[in-house]
Chain A
Amino acid sequence: MTAAALAPTPTTAAPAAPSAAQALATERAAIDASASGPVLFCFGNAILWLLLTTVLGLISSIQLHSPGFLANIPFLTYGRILPAYNNALSYGWATLSGMGVAIWLLARLCRVQIKLPGVLVTGAVFWQVGLTIGIVQILAGKSTGVEGLEIPGSAAVLMLFGYLLIGLWGALLFGYRRQAPAYISVWYLVAALFWFPWTFAVAHVAMALPSVQGVVQSMVAAWAMQNFLNVFITAIGLAAAYYLIPKVINRPIHSYHLASTGFWAFILFAGLTGAVRLSGGPVPVWLVTLSIAATILLIVQIVTVSTNLILTMRGEYHMVYHSPTIRFTFFGAIAFTIASVVGLLASLRSVDHVLHFTFFQTAQTHLLLYAFFSMVMFGAIYYILPRLVGCEWLSSSMISLHFWGSAYGGGMLIAMLAIGGIAFGSALADPEAIFSQVIQDGAVYYIAGSIAWGMIAIGHLVFALHFLLMLLRIGQPGGEPTLFAPIGEEKH
């Protein structure tokens, strides 16, 4: 049943006759028009959060090597900037861009026009208002004090309500779909839409229950954080990658069978990995062991997804030189493989006890959330936006500059966090090492991290400006995508 449930890749829906092609094009245009309001709203707000995230990330990074930086302003102290940064990145940029991509992909892949797009916009508005209140409260020192679930309950309720409107509409699209067997991306999207609100709701309810206290509270938070990253974010990112790569290079995915195997491994194991975050801590040992086992079993997904995407690209690697979408998305796909393998190795107890409590874990989060997910989202936005606004991106050099900032800046940031974490963890393995000295010695990594943030900031600013130009319909005439270099140029 599993393999059969997969429809052919969208690209194989090759029209038989020109009139059919025309009909398909008209249908797509109608779907895009129905989706454009909510999708643009999500993207626009996501990018505003991305800019805020960049500022917060830069400040928190500078504070690591210059602890006095902005330290006398209560709402800019490190202990508030950091959670504000994490929440803006996860629930602002990542979730909203993910929702935009999910709505558009669902509409396209289910071949349904969106009825009452205003409902989706309303959902996004609720999300937006709730999140803004939440971030302001964090900066005001009124967070819940639970790492990963800092947003206070009252704001979280607004967010959840907004999400439910969006999720429900997504489910309706699936219910009315006209493309009978659903494509693999749709599976991932349905899983993401379902898992997120449940995790979010269970976590916030558990936090409010008086009977949940002590370390149970921490376990719930670890579970919720890991589900967000390993299930929700990963599922949307993979759904987009599975759609964009075959679509742009115009060839079906290598193997439907591999894709479905990967999906089943993912759905079974990804949600069980949460307790690795508490490895070595005051929690039952079986719990951590279970999560380590689940992390190891996820190798099935890592191998199948990576092989599949890489084999789909086989012979078409030159496309990363031409197509912005492919350059970003394929970068993300590779980052997914690296992030997963690193996650697997780091979950092993012998490795974990050195790297736990260091920036290595931050590096892991950013590998997944930035190098994989955000890069795929950038790729998706480069693909989707021209279809919504009717013109093409103005300048390929701006896209290049964005890629430079995000790929090199982001890569450098992650590398510095990872190397710094390893250096720090191994230094502390010696009980005679002076703790404060070890922290001081890390300054070189933090300074390099701030430089990397500067590069990222350039990339994001250029991207935001380019997006704004698109909204104002300032771009190349529609039709042919903006490429880095014309295809065929360097084929000798």
Chain B
Amino acid sequence: MNRSLYLFAAIIGSFALSCYALVIMPKCQLGGLQPQTVEDEGKIVDIYPIKNVSVEKGRAVYASEGCFYCHSQQIRDEQNGTDIERGWGARRTVARDYLFEKKPYLGSMRLGPDLSNVGSAKWRNEPENEDPKYKPAKRDAAWQLLHLYAPRTVISISNMPPYRYLFETKKIGGERSADALALTGPNKPKPGYEVVPKPEAKALVAYLMSLDKSHPLKEVKGSAPEVAAK
């Protein structure tokens, strides 16, 4: 019996160690993390990150369609890959960036580009290139909707799956809808019909456009103006 006692002790002890080192310790270290603040006329104001509840619905669509199995949301530093040079972000992301995300979509696979900063005007997925084939297009909400409906209409070599079921084709009743997609070629609906985004698609695009983790942080070297951070 004695020997099996050792065995049990070892198994329980090793589990406790594993749980302590990989779950409890990081929780203690990061549990107290706070947003970055500035002093504004004697008052301390949170500036980053700010909780944005208006895009929660879009976040949920992002999760339920499983976009994060192809897209990461984490930028690594220059020593670890080419994320920054590629134009996906200006600095690496750190724990504080995800402070208000109950479930951060860090991702473990990149079949598509990283989306941490896809809502920022500076984001790009092509090298700065004069070749019109690769010249960055303007990514506004209409572009994103078009891309979701039929990725190859905007990126000819895209390998992203289309998400047509987030849209509906309906008969134009009187006026053309303001958010109808500007489709051409084989994707163009029958005359008299138009393709409009369902609420899920609009929420998803609003979420995408909100993604921006480029605010300077003091713990990321070279990203924060000395004075701003506290």
Chain A residues in the interface with B (C-beta under 8 A) = 1, 4-5, 63-64, 67-68, 71-74, 77-80, 82-83, 141-147, 174, 181-182, 187, 190-191, 194-195, 198-199, 202, 206, 211-220, 223, 227, 264, 267-268, 271-272, 274-275, 277-278, 280-284, 287, 290-291, 349, 353-354, 356-359, 361-362, 428-437, 439-440, 443
Contact = CB atoms under 8 A, between A and B. Distances in A.
Contact of A5 (B6, B65, B68, B157): B6
Given A267-B10, A436-B125, 18 more contacts: A5-B3, A73-B165, A78-B161, A79-B68, A82-B69, A174-B4, A195-B11, A198-B15, A213-B101, A223-B22, A264-B10, A272-B17, A274-B18, A359-B109, A429-B81, A429-B82, A433-B127, A434-B134
Given A280-B80, A436-B155, A145 B18 contact: no
Nearest to B85: A431
13 contacts: A71-B162, A78-B66, A268-B14, A271-B17, A272-B21, A272-B22, A282-B92, A282-B94, A353-B80, A357-B109, A357-B110, A434-B126, A434-B127
B23 A206 contact: yes
Interface of B: 3-4, 6-8, 10-12, 14-15, 17-19, 21-23, 25-27, 29-31, 33, 60, 63-70, 72, 74, 76-77, 79-82, 85-86, 92-95, 97-113, 125-127, 134, 151, 155, 157-165
B158 A436 contact: yes
A217 B102 contact: yes
B22 A83 contact: no
Given A74-B165, A264-B10, A428-B82, A211 B64 contact: no
Contacts of A362: 109
Contacts, number: 223
A250 to B, nearest CB: 27
Given A213-B102, A223-B18, A287-B26, A277 B82 contact: no
B161 A147 contact: no
Contacts of A440: 157, 159
Contacts of B60: 145
B74 A281 contact: yes
B22 A217 contact: no
B69 to A, nearest CB: 5
Contacts of B104: 214-215, 217-218
Given A5-B6, A79-B66, A361-B109, A431 B26 contact: no
Contacts of B97: 282
Nearest to B30: A216
Given A214-B98, A431-B82, A436-B157, A227 B18 contact: yes
A147 B66 CA distance: 9
Nearest 6 CB-CB pairings of A with B: A79-B66, A271-B18, A145-B63, A141-B64, A431-B85, A357-B110
Given A5-B7, A141-B65, A77 B161 contact: yes
Q: Which of A174, A268, A362, A439 has most chain B Cβ within 10 Å?
A: A439
A441 B128 CA distance: 21
B192 to A, nearest CB: 22
B21 A71 contact: no
A140 to B, nearest CB: 8
A67 B94 contact: no
A194 B26 contact: no
B69 A83 contact: yes
Nearest to A287: B26
Contacts of A64: 111, 159
A146 B14 contact: no
A198 B14 CA distance: 12
Contacts of A211: 31
A143 B64 contact: yes
A78 B110 CA distance: 14
A182 B7 contact: yes
A282 B98 contact: yes
A210 to B, nearest CB: 8
A146 B106 CA distance: 9
A174 B60 CA distance: 45
Contacts of A199: 15
Contacts of B4: 174, 182
A44 B19 CA distance: 34
A211 B74 CA distance: 22
Nearest to A281: B74
B98 A215 contact: yes
Nearest to B165: A74
A77 B15 CA distance: 37
Given A83-B69, A283-B26, A145 B105 contact: yes
B64 A216 contact: no
Contacts of A182: 3-4, 7
Q: Which of B18, B101, B125, B162 has most chain A Cβ within 10 Å?
A: B18
Contact of B69 (A144, A147, A195): A147
A194 B12 contact: yes
Given A272-B21, A353-B80, A79 B67 contact: yes
Q: Which of A144, A277, A283, A361 has most chain B Cβ within 10 Å?
A: A283
A320 B110 CA distance: 40
Contacts of B25: 287
Nearest to A69: B161
